[in-house]
């Protein structure tokens, strides 16, 4: 696959957020997990704060004011709740996923709208505290000779994560998907990339559609791994010394609720 690195003007930064999951690991919820209330928003009269707010806040702090949320049909409570994004100080738009074969297929729905943009990507059901995360990732993308920057976190559950093999200079050598045993210590939970990777992923998922219908799921880490082997330049920045919390799992949902409730009591408005 040919990687095109033609020099172009600086790109607009657009957020991409997949919201097509079924929350099967956590059981029935009264709403989509992406808007499940965790903690409180002191700027809005202590109203409950949906989990996806934390991700959107971090994007907005990095100057990302436009984002696409890609939905599974039926998850209409997400746009009903977030609306046009005005209450977050952002512009939000919604797309409907096509095939249920994994996150790469979900976010590829946005390709016609964002193919020439810089992308800030995150999972709306993951919580981490570092507000400057996307600031640091975008700064690295702007100043290093790379096409993708992954935000790294220590992993305490490598068998459930994309584990990252990184050299001392911060270059990613490989991605190992959910290993049962490994000496690797880091996974990733946020990323930014330029149009080189957007085009690569778009081309890659087109070649995988027939096989994907017979597989359980295509992970975005598999696309990054394939990109590395095709010459796409991928680097990493450690943005936390603590693992992120995935509220799609019961244990992490409870941890996140306790952590954010404690922070609300410690920092009243």
User: Percent of the chain at pLDDT above 70?
Assistant: 86
Q: What is the pTM of this model?
A: 0.88
Helix axes 51-61, 133-143, angle to 10 degrees: 40
Confidence at residue 8, expressed as pLDDT on a 0 to 100 scale: 44
The C-alpha atoms of residue 219 and residue 222 are separated, in whole angstroms, by 5
Residue of 193, 241, 257 lying closest to 220 (CA atoms): 193
Tell the CATH superfamily of the 13-266 domain.
Spore Coat Polysaccharide Biosynthesis Protein SpsA; Chain A (3.90.550.10)
Each residue of 30-67: b (16+ CB within 10 Å) or e? eebbbbbbbbbbeeeeeeebbbbbbbbbbbbebebbbb
Using one digit for the tens of pLDDT, what is the confidence trace for 169-210? 778 989 999 999 999 999 999 999 999 999 999 999 998 877
The residue ranges of every structural domain in the chain are: 13-266
Number of Cβ atoms within 10 Å of the Cβ of 94: 17
For 57-85, what is the mean pLDDT? 96
- What phi, psi does 231 have (nearest 5°)? 95, 5
């Amino acid at each position: 696959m040919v990687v095109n690195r033609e020099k172009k003007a600086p790109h607009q930064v657009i957020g991409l957020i997949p919201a097509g999951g079924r929350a099967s690991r956590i059981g029935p919820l009264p709403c989509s997990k992406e808007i499940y209330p965790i903690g409180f928003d002191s700027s809005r009269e202590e109203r409950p704060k949906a989990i996806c707010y934390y991700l959107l806040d971090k994007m907005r702090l990095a100057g990302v004011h436009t984002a696409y949320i890609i939905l599974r049909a039926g998850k209409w409570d997400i746009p009903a709740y977030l609306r046009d994004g005005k209450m977050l100080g952002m512009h939000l738009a919604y797309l409907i996923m096509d095939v249920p074969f994994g996150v790469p297929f979900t976010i590829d729905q946005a390709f016609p709208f964002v193919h020439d943009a810089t992308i800030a990507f995150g999972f709306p059901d993951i919580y981490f505290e570092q507000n400057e995360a996307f600031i640091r990732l975008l700064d690295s993308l702007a100043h290093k000779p790379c096409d993708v920057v992954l935000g790294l976190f220590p992993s305490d559950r490598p068998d459930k994560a994309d584990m990252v093999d990184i050299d001392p200079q911060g270059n990613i050598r490989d991605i190992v998907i959910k290993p049962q045993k490994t000496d690797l210590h880091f996974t990733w939970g946020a990323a930014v990339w330029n149009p080189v990777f957007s085009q690569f992923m778009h081309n890659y998922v087109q070649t995988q559609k027939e096989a994907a219908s017979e597989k359980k799921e295509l992970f975005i880490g598999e696309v990054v791994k394939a990109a590395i082997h095709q010459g796409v330049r991928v680097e990493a920045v450690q943005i936390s010394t603590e693992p992120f919390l995935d509220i799609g799992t019961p244990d992490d949902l409870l941890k996140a609720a306790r952590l954010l409730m404690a922070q609300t009591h410690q920092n009243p408005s």
